[in-house]
Structure 1
């Protein structure tokens, strides 16, 4: 039967999520497990979002609004764009997938950083086009000059995550503008801002939406999964030109964002206090982990996402397993393209206590 399947699909590597808490408890016989692997909001969703979902659940027998009118109104109002410039998806992952479908055809190529978010790879691989991976620089930031040089007249899409996943590093507005100026005409820059909210307060912070108003060939992606705490309900959005949004709407599945997700997202946008507290807790956690690692002599990658990468000076996979046995789930840097690192999501103060205690026992204590 495999000879009937598309060869490029069989070459794709399935996505591997962070281990679920219950799975680790079963496998290792643990009663208490802390998950710091999937970059989720430790404060959970806004109480307003929870209430909105409960109310929306009463109408679950009805199909959702296929166009997401109320959610698009809320997003358009927040960012000062037209409703025809807003697209919504079952997480921003779906929008990445749809961009591949509407842009890519035989002979095209896609340019990304390496390492980067694996769904960019999938968008290219599913369309069976060339994927050009440009290594990050020595500071784990995008090498924008090299990425621009890798583009040619058959480059359709270039993906830039900012803050970057999996490193958490940040590019400035000035750097992105210079990068866009260097791209060949017609290349669409997809600026993935899944972790944007966590970069609040930085100097020369990227204002990607303003680039669209300036006529730049840009798609801005955002998600409600991270700072808004709605990872389990799956909703994201994109802002771009009306022409690109129209093409995506032609390709997407009908009713792609369910009614509960739409209600939760609208409510989350209306709770700035919860968002601000989420960002504050995250900054405290980043500072605490970076400080502890510095005291113990371990380097970290400067991050303004909701995770931090730690150089364990050895096999990140082994440290991942050692922490797992202690009941702390992080991400090994091995599948992320950072073999000497682990990536640690920022949790509550108690969760960070558990991580730092476990790290001290299994890494610092054994003299790695």
Structure 2
């Protein structure tokens, strides 16, 4: 069976990363689009919008819990087999969602889709990094993450539009089709990359004994709780200038476009200067940007400029974070990237809760200050952690 090194001579790692990015686009579209379909889902299933919102909650919880569990169970599998299986499970989950007539079955199907999504995203990042090698690891991860940012800019709006013109079930079929299109491409084009066959499960779990890896995971929760608070409550923070849905849509589009540029830039910087330096610099600058955000919430032009800067910086954190944790983990990268994904989804949940408390206690104008404080904490944790600088 071909080795990773031999596979790299047959095709550039960039083409493999692009194939993985398409799968990430399918998974990301599913994660982002459901929120925009909640009213129509609620009407169709004869439940309240709040009850329909639990589809997002179930997906997030299942994703966070199942990511490391599935990584352990598939540790010895070929990475290609894991990725194709993940997309198949993901497609089945979304197909059941599209076909289900009852609320309970729709909830259960979201957990199935989350299992496939969690397994795919974590494995895709680790596989791309492994194929690219140490010198170009950041760029490889950035290309995979481009699929996620593209789903925010293109996939979610397209899915929402289809849901509005046709039916929310049509959007679920769209996501299913995207996954089924990505799976054969990965099966045919991705080179053979072995799973962890040496040292058994103890060796696979060894990275969890490294305090630096634990510190990176804790930092991920802190950083992304701060990043997602302003994003989750963007409609409240910029209510003075974006009270209409069309203006809010423009701000979200700008956020996604600038975030895409930030992700790709961060990948290059992480390869050149080391992920730790990039994380410290970006989180410090982002803290300052959040602290200045309230000054731009009353003027549209200032709000757009703020969104451009914040979006660019917010998406400049995830690639260096993954780069750092993969570098530290070594052979245990598959498990650690799954734990990284769990930390991200935990941060999403915490951002909603912490943001709600801040909104009730201090008001929307003060939420960016809460985010700024969390970014300072993330910068301090990263600086103190003895991770690799190069």
Per the TM superposition, whether the score is higher than 0.5 is no
TM-score by length of 1: 0.30
Higher share in helix = 2
More strand by share: 1
